[in-house]
Amino acid sequence: MKHVLVAIPYKETLHRVLYRRMMELSDRLIDANPDYEIEIVRICDKFVFTGEEPYSFPQATARNALLAAYLKPEHDLVMWIDADIVDYPADIITVLDNANPGGVTAPMVLIEGTVQFYDTYGYRQNGNPISHIPPYFNPFEQLTEIDAVGCAYLIPASVYKDDRYTCTPGQTEHYSIMQVAKAAGMKVACFTDMVIYHAYLPKYGEYFHGH
């Protein structure tokens, strides 16, 4: 049985509606993925982005602190989920693992209530951001190999156990981790048959960050 660390960092300022949704969604994971031993860590990150510093650097620091504190030798996989994801299938771990065994796999991320791709800052193909509107990928395949993913993804824990927590200027905090995975021969891919939804942040009194 594979052991999975589900890592969900959230800000102290997270809107209460989003906080409740984060708890509801993550509470479903254990029962919906019976073939996995799942440990869920929801940790409050007190950092508040002011716009005066490169966004990715403090986010990388928060990610590294979370993983350093909770990643254990027995963990086989890490499921990273941003706290402001408002909908995803309960069996997301099973589906993503089966879609790309041994690789890094993310679903498509759209903004709630729209057909607009959310994390074009984090999802990269051939060095370019993913299109905001359909067709999102070229080519559009069920499992599309790309340069980097973000927001929510399943990744082998071994990528983090090497302690190579770096940050690439101009990219998200996840980008350098994807490059470590690719260098180890892992396929980094988006599973286009699964769509999840990111909060429309202005609805919750926030700006879209990192764009």
Q: Work out the number of other CB atoms within 10 angstroms of the CB of residue 58.
A: 17
Domain presence at residue 12: yes
Domain presence at residue 167: yes
Give the pLDDT of residue 53.
45
User: What is the rounded CA–CA span in Å between residue 173 and residue 170?
Assistant: 9
- Residue 59 reports pLDDT greater than 70: no
What percent of the chain is predicted at pLDDT more than 90? 68
**CATH number for the domain that contains residue 43:** 3.90.550.10
Domain presence at residue 211: no
- Once rounded to an integer, what is the mean pLDDT over residues 11-37? 96
* Start-to-end CA span in the chain (Å): 39
Domain presence at residue 117: yes
β-strand pairing of 77-81 with 152-156:
antiparallel
Number of domains within the chain: 1
Q: State pLDDT tens for residues 172-194.
A: 778 888 998 999 999 999 999 99
Q: Which residues pair with 125 in a beta bridge?
A: 128
Give the pLDDT of residue 211.
43
CA separation, residue 43 to residues 9, 16, 23, 56 (Å)? 5, 15, 12, 18
Would you place residue 46 in the very low, low, confident or very high pLDDT band (cuts 50, 70, 90)?
A: low
CA separation, residue 131 to residues 119, 134, 166 (Å)? 10, 7, 26
pTM of the entire predicted model: 0.91
Domain presence at residue 52: yes
Domain presence at residue 151: yes
Using CB atoms within 10 Å of the CB of residue 63, give its burial: 0 to 12 exposed, 13 to 18 middle, 19+ buried. Answer: buried
Would you place residue 29 in the very low, low, confident or very high pLDDT band (cuts 50, 70, 90)?
A: very high
Q: Work out the number of other CB atoms within 10 angstroms of the CB of residue 162.
A: 9
Give the pLDDT of residue 51.
47
Domain presence at residue 28: yes
Question: Which residue range(s) make up the domain with 196?
Answer: 2-204
Domain presence at residue 144: yes
- Residue 61 reports pLDDT greater than 90: no
